């Protein structure tokens, strides 16, 4: 009888240990069951998720291009460009003046029709933007275009020159009016 009493602490310890093992096993098991089959989205499983900015997802030039759009969409415009609107009406005279400026300052890279195919374009990475398409995108609001043209690509390390010291704001609005008019050829002379 004395011997049996001696075994009580050992049996107690065993029970506690066994209980602990069971509880932890259950926890692990429960975790594995955390997503019941009912809730798996079979059309969008986890393995299709891919970070847009992950290495290899975009070429280096494309990354820089996206960085410009990303900056704007996430409210990264410098204060002085926020909320800017053109001060000019899109009259034929304004468009014509814009055409002249565009052909002088922009077409060697962006091409006469804004198709990114100017003579200097091929040597550049990233290549000059296809402004004819850009101008149709909802993102092409006045403040975005003014910022891109005035500040250029220095911060993004692209070859887009900054025009803020070269052209007046009014001249830049003229160029924007020309682009909004659809790069009309008649105005180019």
| Contact between 161 and ligand HEC per CB under 6 A | yes
| Contact between 105 and ligand HEC per CB under 6 A | yes
In the list 129, 146, 150, 181, the residue contacting ligand HEC (rule: CB under 6 A) is 129
Question: Can you tell me the distance from the alpha carbon of 168 to that of 89, in angstroms, rounded to the nearest whole number?
Answer: 16
Stretch that binds ligand HEC, among 2-10, 30-38, 46-54, 123-131 (CB under 6 A): 123-131
Nearest-approach distance from CB 130 to ligand HEC, in angstroms: 8
Q: How far is CA 15 from CA 12, 25, 28, 142, in A?
A: 5, 15, 20, 74
Confirm if 118 and 108 have CB atoms less than 8 A apart: yes
Pick 7 or 166: Cβ nearer ligand HEC: 166
∠ CA 53-58-60, nearest 5°, is 100
> On the CB side of 161, how many CA atoms lie within 13 Å of its CA?
12
Nearest-approach distance from CB 99 to ligand HEC, in angstroms: 12
Question: Can you tell me the distance from the alpha carbon of 113 to that of 132, in angstroms, rounded to the nearest whole number?
Answer: 7
| Contact between 86 and ligand HEC per CB under 6 A | no
Nearest-approach distance from CB 141 to ligand HEC, in angstroms: 11
Question: Can you tell me the distance from the alpha carbon of 130 to that of 106, in angstroms, rounded to the nearest whole number?
Answer: 12
| Contact between 174 and ligand HEC per CB under 6 A | no
Question: Can you tell me the distance from the alpha carbon of 147 to that of 40, in angstroms, rounded to the nearest whole number?
Answer: 44
Nearest-approach distance from CB 81 to ligand HEC, in angstroms: 12
In the list 88, 106, 177, 187, the residue contacting ligand HEC (rule: CB under 6 A) is 106
Dihedral (C-alpha) 18, 20, 24, 30: value to the nearest 10 degrees?
80
Pick 25 or 53: Cβ nearer ligand HEC: 53
| Contact between 134 and ligand HEC per CB under 6 A | yes
Q: Which residues bind ligand HEC (CB under 6 A)?
A: 65, 68, 105-106, 108-110, 120, 124, 126, 128-129, 131, 134, 145, 148-149, 153, 156, 158-161, 163, 175
């Amino acid at each position: 009888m004395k011997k049996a009493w001696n075994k009580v602490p050992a049996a107690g310890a065993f029970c506690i240990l066994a209980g602990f093992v069971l509880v932890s096993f259950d926890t692990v098991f429960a975790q594995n069951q955390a997503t019941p089959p009912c809730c798996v989205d079979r059309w969008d499983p986890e393995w299709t998720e891919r970070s847009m900015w992950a290495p290899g997802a975009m070429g280096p030039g494309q990354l820089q291009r996206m960085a410009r759009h990303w900056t704007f969409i996430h409210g990264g415009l410098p204060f002085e460009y926020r909320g800017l609107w053109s001060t000019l009406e899109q009259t034929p005279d304004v468009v014509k003046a814009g055409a002249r400026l565009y052909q002088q300052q922009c077409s060697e890279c962006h091409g006469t029709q804004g198709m990114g195919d100017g003579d200097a374009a091929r040597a550049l990475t990233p290549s000059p933007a296809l402004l004819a398409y850009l101008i149709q995108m909802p993102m092409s609001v006045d403040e975005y275009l003014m910022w891109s043209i005035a500040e250029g690509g220095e911060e993004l390390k692209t070859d887009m020159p900054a025009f803020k010291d070269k052209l007046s704001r009014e001249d830049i609005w003229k160029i924007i009016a020309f682009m909004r008019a659809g790069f009309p050829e008649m105005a180019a002379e």
